[in-house]
């Protein structure tokens, strides 16, 4: 496997920037921990996703702190952000923007929609109709939108942090596979630990804390971290492991379909990001195992239950069946 | 046959997968193809119609035939074969019936059982094709056909949704390839038992010398570049002019046609052997005769040692015990100085001077005058040869058509253009007209030496006729009038003697063979050498060569030893297949640290501390170290670095340190475990 090193980081200041990166990450994790109590694993996964330049999907029941986490992420990363509340009557033009007639200049003018921000919080994305959901498709993959036959670039960096309710909830339209595949990770928050919940109950709503959050990074620092992810090294035995995982998903009879090359790439990129979060210069199998459920669950279907969500069991099956060492 | 009610009850699970049906139909075409030349065209037509019908069923346009239609078809088919003019129990009739039934099965093939039946029939038809032909090309073709048929069978057993014809073909090819070594072992060692019942053999006409010869026939043979036989000489190949392959002796003349007379009794091989016992020169050679459907064999003058199943008749021609239906391999020794019939019996004298009373009066007159003038048989022969040499006679592949009566008169005095048999026939007639015993001999003259394997190839265009005259004291003596009219034919082969018009009528391949040094010629020569080796090693591998080989390999040949050899060979093949499968399934880890760690894991597994499938190296080492009450971290760091950090130095010191750490952990663990147990 070739090791990719960022051109912006020279060898001399690599050590210095390493410590910087480490400090930044630690401060981010600490700040977010203060908002969402007892969810360090999920917070790290969310950060790993952002550092790997991926879009994030947070799925859970209402009231679990999905929106809170996404807000806190956008704020601490110091990025411009817009929130789109998806409902069943949201139209694509409500997201992308629309061309309107300007009386003063006597010309048509494109008014940018909420999509034109560095972080787009797509709240309850699966409550929108497929038509509106698909307005996000191009934006997420190409990082541009096309309206009236014209392609407009989106801000750089561009992240979609979407939240959704489990599809079994009333009034939801399940996201199509093509769109799910564009999310690097899907995380679930889950109920808080008793101790964390106790603290929550004692100290009141965390939204106030979230309001007071400061931007902890600037743009160049975020880019530095992203470059550091790319510079994480990967060895032959580890690539073999990832390839065995992917091959198993393609050959196993339980899987309706295997992981796509994009899925394999996502696995590798997320593992690198996770390795960076844990202050390693190279990826170890533990990294792959840690991020694998979040990366593959929403990409897999059980062949026995094609329409359903068997992803969780399948991810465990993958982990339990594929040998770490060949 | 399944009835209509049956077909309704056929569950979906028993249906033929649609995709494998495609392969099945392809394999049917593939296995019938080599048989087409041996069966009537109408059967081929029936096959095509059935295929078309089946494709209609496949597309859902037509239905399967009803029971009544099927009954009528079967009756019609049997009647059709009965009236097709095959012999009652000929191989062609049996093959036709098989192919016909096979084609009809196509339209009633409904469930898996039918499809399996068709597949087994396919294999049977592959075997059937070898009854007609055992050439290398056919064998290669049938191996491929077996791959296609096996692919159809593989397709039958694949999941409905996952049938891909190309993948099935790949699996089938692998299966056949795995079977090949075992086939080879069985071919070499399996006892060649004589068949328990006789199989009717093919009776198709083949080109070649026949037992009747009308001048002009031999010229037609030169159109064919088909192989007559190959010969391998023990020592140097004799000169072209000495390669007279004697096959048939024509003693009867009637209406312009020379014919082989009633066969004479066989000579005693011991007498022959004795008569040539002190001969200084003997030519040893082996002949691989292509099927002729006849019993006669070809030999150089005069065969003195021949196998037990061959007879040497009174006119010194060889006769096989049964017709040659597949490539026949026989070994001969010829004595060129042998005297044939030093004393001539009255019966043979009468036989070899007999002529029809009326035919060719002019030649008779000419012969009597010539004999009166020359005085002796030898002088008369020389005079006639001289006449041919100096007279206005020419040698041509396209002689004019001669009348049935007085044909020799018409040739000798009028047309004067002819091929070898014209000249030979004329001379024999003239000699007999004055009472000198003479006969026409047919066979081949010459032969091309293949430069690759050094064997001699004789093709149909080398067919030739010459004469033998009985001279007192010298016995039967060979004279070749062609040598007088076209000396180049005998010295340098047919192409040297041909005029440009004659060359124009030759087939493309024949011309190419005459071309000499060209690329095509050397290619043809190479193909010929391959075919020769095939005949030598595969087709010619019969019970006697097998027992030679077995006694070379095993010493004394006993059933037990042969059985052991088959078992050992078969076992070896299985081991080879197993090994390849094993090595392919379990690729060795390439990374040195990974190999080291794997060995450590295996050793620990034997001690009862197997690594879980999803247990990472670090987690595993930590678990073991906890058990051994050792500090895991140095080893974990070293292992992680050498396994997963591409930048960490992976030199020899590193792996030595790893190995030491592993050993330490293992010993500690083994010691600690036993300590706890006691």
Residue with the bigger pLDDT between A22 and A303: it is A22
pLDDT of the residue at B513: 64
pLDDT digits (tens, 9 = 90+) for B9-34: 444 445 666 667 778 888 888 998 88
Percent of chain B surpassing pLDDT 90: 10
- Identify the pLDDT of residue A110: 85
Residue B612's closest chain A neighbor by CA?
Answer: A323
For residue B621, give the nearest of B586, B570, B665 by alpha carbon: B665
**Residue for token digits 């492991």?**
A241
Over residues B62-92, the pLDDT tens digits come to 888 888 888 888 888 888 888 877 766 677 8
Residue A11 near chain B (CB below 8 Å): no
pLDDT at B439: 92
Range of the domain at B468: 353-445+464-515
Q: Where are the alpha helices (DSSP H) in A77-215?
A: 92-96, 130-142, 177-180, 194-203, 207-211
Per-position DSSP letters for B144-180, written without gaps between them: HHHHHHHHHHHHHTS-GGG--HHHHHHHHHHHHHHHH
Site of tokens 């099935």? B168
Q: Is the pLDDT of residue B438 over 90?
A: yes
| B266 part of a folded domain | no
The encoded tokens of residue B268 equal 């005693």
Give this prediction's pTM. 0.55
Region B425-433: what's the mean pLDDT? 91
Is the domain of B572 the same as that of B608? no
Nearest to A321 among B613, B615, B647 (CB): B613
Distances, alpha carbon B274 to alpha carbons B268, B269, B313, in Å: 10, 9, 17
Residue B325 lies in a domain: no
- Tell me, yes or no, whether B556 and B613 share the same domain: no
Average pLDDT of the residues in B451-476: 87
Residues B644 and B509 in one domain: no
Residue where one domain finishes, among candidates B102, B135, B157: B157
In a domain, A198, yes or no: yes
Is there a domain that residue A273 lies in?
A: no
Average pLDDT taken over every residue of chain B: 81
pLDDT of the residue at A2: 41
Chain B positions in Cβ-Cβ contact with residue A289 (cut-off 8 Å): 614, 616
Q: Report how many Cβ contacts below 8 Å link chain A to chain B.
A: 70
- Is A243 an 8 Å CB contact of chain B? no
Within-domain flag for A245: no
pLDDT score for B9: 41
Q: Answer yes or no: do B556 and B435 share one domain.
A: no
Contact by Cβ (8 Å): A19, A216 = no
The DSSP 8-state label assigned to residue B392 in this structure reads: S
The string of DSSP codes covering B341-353 is: -SS--HHHHHHTT
Q: B121, B139, B157: which is the final residue of a domain?
A: B157
Report yes or no: B43 and B96 within 8 Å, Cβ to Cβ. Answer: yes
Contact call for B616 and A282, based on CB within 8 A: no
Asked if B328 contacts B299 with a C-beta cutoff of 8 angstroms, the reply is: no
B420 shares a domain with B567: no
**Structure confidence at residue A12 as a pLDDT band (50, 70, 90):** very low
Given this model, what pLDDT does residue B244 score? 92
Residue B621 lies in a domain: yes
Higher-pLDDT residue of B509 and B663 is B663
CATH of the domain at B359: 3.10.620
Report if residue A296 sits inside a domain: no
pLDDT at res. A290: 92
- B510 and B372 in a common domain: yes
Q: Looking at the structure, do residues B635 and B612 belong to the same domain, yes or no?
A: yes
pLDDT at A300 over 80: yes
Confidence band, pLDDT 50/70/90 cuts, at residue A8: very low
Number of domains in chain A: 1
| Residues B34/B139, Cβ–Cβ less than 8 Å | no
C-alpha dist (Å) from residue A105 to A147, A152, B142, B230, B460: 21, 21, 83, 101, 100
B594 and A234 in contact by Cβ < 8 A? no
CB spacing of A286 vs B619 below 8 angstroms: yes
List, in order, residues 6 or more apart from B616 with CB less than 8 Å away: A284, A285, A286, A289, A324
Answer yes or no: do A325 and B647 touch at CB < 8 A.
no
Query: What is the pLDDT confidence band of residue A306, given thresholds at 50, 70 and 90?
Result: low
Whether residue B501 sits in one domain with residue B358 = yes
Question: In terms of C-beta distances under 8 Å and separation of at least 24 residues, what long-range contacts does A307-316 make, across chains too?
Answer: A309/A167, A314/A249, A314/A254, A314/A255
Q: Does the bond joining B302 to the residue before it have cis omega, within 30 degrees of 0?
A: yes
Indicate the Cα dihedral angle A7, A12, A13, A16, nearest 10°: 140
pLDDT the model gives residue A167: 66
Min mean pLDDT across A36-45, B555-564, B580-589 is at B580-589
As a whole number of angstroms, the distance between CA A186 and CA A8 comes to: 31
Q: Phi first, then psi: what are they for B11, rounded to 5°? A: -70, 160
Burial class of residue B312 (count of CB atoms within 10 Å of its CB; 0-12, 13-18, 19+): buried
Q: Is residue A20 part of a domain?
A: no
Residue A274 structure tokens: 């996770």
In this structure, are residues A256 and A303 in contact, taking their beta carbons and an 8 Å threshold?
A: yes
DSSP character string of B593-642: HHHHHHHHHHHHHHTT-PPPTT--HHHHHHHHHHHHT---HHHHHHHHHH
The backbone torsions φ and ψ at residue B518, rounded to the nearest 5 degrees and listed phi first, read -60, 165
Q: Do B493 and B392 have their domain in common?
A: yes
pLDDT in tens, A75-123: 888 888 888 888 888 888 888 888 888 888 888 888 888 888 888 888 8
d(CA B338, CA B475): 9
Minimum distance, in Å, between the CA of residue B573 and any CA atom of chain A = 29
Whether the CB-CB separation of B290 and B298 falls below 8 Å is answered with no
Give the burial class of B303: count Cβ atoms within 10 A of its Cβ; 0-12 exposed, 13-18 middle, 19 or more buried. Answer: buried
Please check whether residue A137 touches B, CB under 8 A: no
For chain B, the domain total comes to 4
State which of B584, B604, B636 marks the end of a domain.
B584
Q: What is the mean pLDDT of residues B548-576?
A: 83
With 0-12 / 13-18 / 19 or more C-beta atoms within 10 angstroms meaning exposed / middle / buried, residue A153 is exposed
How confident is the model at residue B5, as a pLDDT? Answer: 41
> Are B361 and B501 in a shared domain?
yes
Q: Does B613 contact A320 at a Cβ distance shorter than 8 Å?
A: yes
How near does any CA of chain B get to the CA of A92, in Å? 39
Burial of A323 (0-12, 13-18, 19+ CB in 10 A): middle
Say whether both B509 and B600 belong to one domain.
no
On whether any CB of chain B is under 8 Å from the CB of A285, the answer is yes
In the predicted model, what is the mean pLDDT of residues B48-68?
Answer: 83
* Residue B7 banded pLDDT, cuts 50, 70, 90: very low
Contacts of A126 (CB under 8 A, 6+ apart): A86, A133, A164, A165, A167, A172, A173, A174, A175
Q: Domain for residue B389, yes or no?
A: yes
B614–A319 CB contact, under 8 Å: yes
Q: pLDDT digit string (tens) for A262-289? A: 899 999 999 999 999 998 889 999 999 9
Please state, in angstroms and rounded to a whole number, the distance separating the CA atoms of residues B313 and B432.
22
pLDDT in tens, B337-346: 888 888 888 8
Q: Give domain status of residue A11, yes or no.
A: no
Domain-embedded: residue B536: no
Contact between residue A113 and residue A152 where contact means Cβ atoms under 8 Å apart: no
CATH number of the domain bearing residue A204: 3.40.50.300
pLDDT tier at A325 (50, 70, 90 boundaries)?
Answer: confident
Coil/strand/helix, residue A162: strand
- Looking at mean pLDDT, say which of A161-175, B130-144, B213-227 comes out highest: B130-144
Nearest-by-Cβ selection for B616 from A233, A236, A286: A286
B23 domain-assigned: yes
Domain carrying residue A191: 36-218
d(CA A301, CA A143): 27
Judged against a pLDDT cut of 70, whether residue B198 lies above it is answered with: no
Q: Which two tokens stand for residue A22?
A: 């480490």
CA distance B644 to chain A (A): 5
Tokens of B516: 């000499």
Q: What are the chain B neighbours of A284 within 8 Å (beta carbons)?
A: 616, 618, 640, 643-644
**A258 CB-near residues (< 8 Å, 6+ apart):** A246, A247, A249, A250, A251
Distances (CA, A) of B140 to A296, B167, B185, B534: 49, 21, 18, 12
Q: DSSP state, B417?
A: E
Domain match, B441 and B401 both? yes
* Domain contains A263: no
Residue A123 included in any domain: yes
Whether A251 has its CB under 8 Å from any CB of chain B: the answer is no
């Amino acid at each position: 496997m070739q090791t990719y090193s960022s051109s912006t980081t020279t060898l001399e200041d690599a050590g210095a920037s390493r410590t910087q990166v480490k400090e930044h990450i630690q401060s981010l994790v600490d700040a977010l921990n203060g908002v969402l109590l007892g969810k360090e694993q999920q917070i790290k996964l969310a950060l790993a996703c952002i550092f790997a330049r991926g879009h994030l999907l947070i799925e859970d029941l209402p009231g679990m702190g999905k929106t809170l986490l996404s807000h806190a992420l956008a704020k601490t990363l110091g990025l411009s952000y817009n929130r789109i509340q998806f409902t069943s009557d949201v139209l694509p033009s409500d997201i992308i923007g629309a061309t309107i007639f300007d009386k003063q200049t006597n010309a048509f003018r494109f008014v940018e929609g909420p999509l034109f921000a560095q972080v787009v919080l797509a709240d309850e994305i699966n409550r929108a109709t497929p038509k509106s959901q698909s307005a996000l498709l191009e934006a997420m993959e190409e990082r541009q939108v096309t309206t009236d036959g014209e392609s407009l670039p989106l801000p750089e960096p561009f992240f979609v942090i979407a939240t959704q309710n489990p599809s079994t909830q009333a009034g939801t339209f399940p996201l199509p596979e093509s769109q799910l595949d564009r999310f690097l990770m899907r995380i679930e928050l889950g109920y808080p630990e008793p101790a964390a919940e106790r603290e929550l109950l004692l100290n009141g709503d965390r939204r106030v804390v979230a309001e007071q959050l400061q931007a902890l990074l600037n743009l160049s620092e975020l880019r530095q971290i992203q470059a550091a992810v790319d510079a994480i090294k990967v060895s032959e035995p580890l690539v073999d492991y990832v390839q065995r995982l992917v091959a198993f998903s393609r050959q196993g009879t339980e899987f309706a379909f295997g992981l796509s090359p994009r899925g394999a790439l996502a696995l590798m990129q997320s593992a690198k990001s996770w390795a960076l979060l844990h202050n390693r210069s190279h990826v170890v199998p533990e990294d792959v195992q840690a991020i694998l459920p979040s990366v593959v669950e929403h990409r897999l279907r059980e062949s026995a239950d094609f329409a359903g969500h068997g992803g969780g069991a399948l991810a465990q099956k993958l982990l339990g069946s594929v040998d770490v060492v060949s | 046959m399944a009835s209509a009610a049956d077909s309704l009850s056929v569950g979906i699970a028993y249906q033929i997968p649609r995709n494998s049906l495609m392969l099945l139909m392809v394999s049917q075409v593939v296995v019938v193809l080599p048989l087409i030349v041996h069966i009537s065209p109408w059967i081929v037509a029936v096959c095509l119609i059935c295929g078309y019908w089946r494709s209609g069923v496949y597309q859902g346009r037509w239905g399967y035939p009803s029971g009544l239609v099927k009954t009528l078809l079967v009756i019609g088919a049997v009647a059709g074969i009965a009236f097709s003019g095959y012999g009652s129990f000929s191989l062609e009739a049996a093959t036709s019936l098989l192919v016909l039934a096979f084609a009809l099965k196509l339209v009633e093939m409904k469930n898996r059982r039918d499809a399996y039946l068709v597949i087994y029939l396919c294999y049977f038809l592959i075997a059937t094709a070898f009854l007609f032909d055992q050439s290398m090309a056919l064998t290669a073709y049938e191996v491929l056909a077996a791959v296609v048929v096996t692919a159809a069978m593989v397709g039958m057993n694949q999941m409905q949704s996952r049938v891909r014809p190309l993948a099935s073909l790949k699996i089938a090819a692998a299966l056949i390839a795995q079977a090949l070594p075992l086939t080879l072992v069985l071919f070499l060692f399996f006892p060649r038992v004589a068949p328990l019942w006789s199989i009717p053999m093919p009776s198709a006409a083949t080109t070649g010398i026949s037992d009747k010869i009308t001048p002009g026939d031999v010229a037609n043979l030169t159109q064919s570049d088909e192989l007559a036989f190959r010969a391998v000489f023990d020592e140097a190949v004799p000169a072209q002019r000495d390669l007279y392959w004697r096959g048939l002796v024509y003693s009867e003349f009637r209406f312009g046609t020379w014919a082989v007379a009633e066969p004479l009794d066989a000579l005693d091989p011991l007498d022959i052997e004795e008569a040539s016992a002190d001969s200084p020169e003997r030519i040893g050679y082996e002949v691989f005769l292509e099927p002729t459907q006849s019993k006669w064999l070809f030999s150089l003058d005069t065969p003195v040692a021949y196998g037990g199943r061959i007879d040497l008749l009174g006119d010194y021609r060889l006769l096989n015990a049964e017709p040659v239906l597949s490539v026949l391999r026989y070994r001969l020794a010829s004595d060129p100085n042998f005297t044939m019939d030093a004393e001539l019996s009255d019966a043979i004298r009468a036989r070899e001077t007999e002529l029809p009373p009326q035919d060719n009066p002019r030649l008779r007159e000419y012969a009597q005058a010539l004999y009166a003038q020359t005085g002796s048989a030898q002088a008369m022969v020389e005079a006639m040869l001289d006449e041919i040499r100096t007279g206005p006679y020419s040698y041509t592949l396209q002689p004019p058509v001669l009348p049935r009566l007085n044909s020799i008169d018409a040739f000798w005095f009028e047309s004067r253009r002819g091929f070898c048999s014209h000249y030979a026939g004329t001379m024999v007639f003239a000699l007999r007209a004055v009472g000198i015993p003479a006969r026409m001999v047919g066979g081949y003259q010459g032969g091309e030496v293949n430069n690759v394997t050094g064997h001699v190839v004789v093709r149909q265009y080398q067919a030739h006729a010459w004469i033998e005259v009985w001279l007192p004291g010298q016995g039967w003596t060979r004279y070749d009038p062609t040598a007088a009219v076209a000396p180049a034919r005998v010295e340098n082969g047919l192409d040297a003697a041909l005029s440009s018009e004659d060359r124009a009528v030759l087939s493309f391949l024949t011309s190419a063979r005459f071309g000499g040094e060209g690329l095509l010629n050397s290619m043809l020569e190479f193909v010929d050498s391959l075919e020769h080796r095939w005949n030598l090693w595969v087709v010619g591998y019969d019970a006697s060569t097998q027992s030679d080989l077995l006694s070379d390999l095993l010493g004394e040949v006993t059933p037990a030893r042969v059985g052991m050899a088959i078992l050992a060979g078969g076992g070896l093949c299985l081991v080879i297949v197993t090994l390849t499968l094993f090595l392919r399934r379990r690729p060795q880890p390439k990374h040195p640290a990974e190999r080291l760690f794997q060995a450590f894991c295996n050793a620990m597994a034997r001690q009862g501390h197997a690594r879980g499938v999803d247990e990472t190296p670090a987690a595993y080492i930590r678990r073991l170290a906890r058990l051994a009450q050792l500090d895991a971290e140095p080893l974990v760091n070293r292992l992680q670095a050498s396994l997963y950090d591409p930048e960490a130095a992976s030199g020899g010191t590193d792996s030595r340190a790893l190995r030491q750490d592993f050993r330490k952990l293992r010993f500690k663990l083994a010691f600690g475990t036993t300590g706890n147990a006691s």
